Amino acid sequence: LPEPGTVEFKDVTFGYPGAEAPVLSGISFTAKPGQTTAIIGSTGAGKTTLLNLIPRLYDATEGEILIGGVPLKELGREAISRNISAVPQRPYLFSGTIASNLRFGAQDASDEELWEALDIAQSTDFVTEREGQLESTISQGGTNVSGGQRQRLCIARALAAKPMTYLFDDSFSALDVNTDAKLRAALAEPTKDAAVIIVAQRVSTITEADQILVLDHGEIVARGTHEELLESSETYQEIVTS
């Protein structure tokens, strides 16, 4: 069996219920633990849809997705949520405290572990400055927190769960370039044994990725490292220069 946390797509096709054309076709790749797999492509290419198939927000129409060699359908909801942390493109906080938001998916995390996660997510100052700190209140939808901060708290939430697989959907784009770089450097250690899949808008976020998948109209049109794609893919060159 492949290592736990490995994500395999085998010739996956997906169309939204009721829609005519598939949004994803013939998607095959393997995201290995200890590696970063990046997905890049223009808006509407199908990046979010692809990520959403992994925690089974939708099921593939054809083909198969496996985690650690086990088909998703055999894994069960509980195993999926325990092993996979997803930071969605529109990160969501619910009404409650910062601590309760961070413990969603990590009920047993100690305060110390929450502070560690916040530190990696570059949010220590933000939480320290709030009245009540970990117990300070978040309003429904996180509307009393800025978009970039919401994104960072959702990254901290993902880290607190200590999963084998991380999914980041465009999680770094609301951050300024400086914070983006610091956060990603801090992520290296806690995610080093996990399979990391990251959707990115900025090429600078993914130049170090072990493999980059270029998605165009629901198909992988090129794959390789940053250097390889600069040589081989016109679509990638266009993304880099746009």
44 near ligand GTP, judged by CB under 6 A: yes
Which of 35/173 has CB closer to Mg ion? Answer: 173
Which of 31/134 has CB closer to ligand GTP? Answer: 31
Closest CA to 136 of 148, 118, 121: 118
Q: Which of residues 62-81 bind ligand GTP (CB under 6 A)?
A: none
Q: Shortest approach of Mg ion to residue 101 CB, angstroms?
A: 22
Which span sits near Mg ion by CB under 5 A: 28-36, 85-93, 115-123, 201-209? 85-93
**Distance of alpha carbon 23 from alpha carbon 57, whole angstroms:** 15
Which of 45/127 has CB closer to ligand GTP? Answer: 45
The SS3 call for residue 62 is strand
Whether 93 and 158 have beta carbons less than 8 Å apart is answered as no
**Distance of alpha carbon 87 from alpha carbon 94, whole angstroms:** 14
Q: Shortest approach of Mg ion to residue 136 CB, angstroms?
A: 30
Q: Shortest approach of ligand GTP to residue 51 CB, angstroms?
A: 8
Residue 238's CB is within 10 A of a number of other CB atoms, namely 11
Closest CA to 176 of 204, 196, 154, 157: 204
Residues that bind ligand GTP in the complex, under the rule CB under 6 A: 16, 19, 23, 41, 43-49, 89
